[in-house]
Structures are given as structure tokens and as C-alpha cells.
Amino acid sequence: MPSRRQVLLGGAAVTALVGVGAVGLQLRASRLREPRRPLAALDPVGFSVVAAVAERVCPAAEGLPSAWALEVPERVDELLARMEPGQATDVSRALLLLESPLVSVLFG
């Protein structure tokens, strides 16, 4: 049976490995999508996150256009531009959480 010290050292080692892995994931560059119109509320990273989420939720299917073809990311940007600035900022910050590679690893 391992001693308390061995359990604590093992837990510390696992925590350190997870931390190093998380930092490595955070350093990974994002793939930015190029907007077809000037952005009104989102920044390029937020726009790219919206584009990725829209493509994941509504992929192209037989006889149906993709979310990108329907310009869903640009329409979301227009919608956010009509919101109160504080609310649009909150949505933009929440989108950055979706962009986090660590969140992607934890939640698939």
C-alpha cells in the first residue's frame, strides 16, 4: 500500500503533467476564417469560432447549403452589432472560451 507521501507526490506529478499539456495546447495557433464583409462586433478570432460552431451545427448535406454558404457567421456578427455593447462583449468573451483548446479536450 502506498504511503501518504507517495500518493501526494504522484498527484503532484500528474497535476504538473496536465498543466504542461494545457499550456502546450494554449500555445497552438487558431485557424482564422476570413470574413466576407467588414466585422461590426466580433474580432477575427470570435468570428472564426462562430464559423466553426455554425459549420459543426449545420454542416452541408445533400441538397442543403452549409452554414458558411448561408453566411451565418456574418449574420451573427450583424446581430451582435445591434445588441447593447456590454452584451455583445460578453458573447465575444464566451466565444473565446469555446476557442480554448483545453475546453475542447475536456468537453470534446
CA-to-CA distance for 29 and 104, rounded, in angstroms?
Answer: 14
Q: Which residues are registered as beta bridge partners of 64?
A: 61
Instruction: Please indicate whether residue 3 or residue 83 has the higher confidence score (pLDDT).
Output: 83
pLDDT at residue 108, as a whole number:
54
pLDDT at residue 8, as a whole number:
72
Q: Which amino acid is present at 30? A: S
Q: Which residues are registered as beta bridge partners of 61?
A: 64
The predicted model gives 75-90 an average pLDDT of 92
pLDDT at residue 5, as a whole number:
78
pTM: 0.67
The predicted model gives 17-34 an average pLDDT of 62
**pLDDT band, very low/low/confident/very high, at 25 (cuts 50, 70, 90):** very low
Other Cβ atoms closer than 10 A to 69? 10
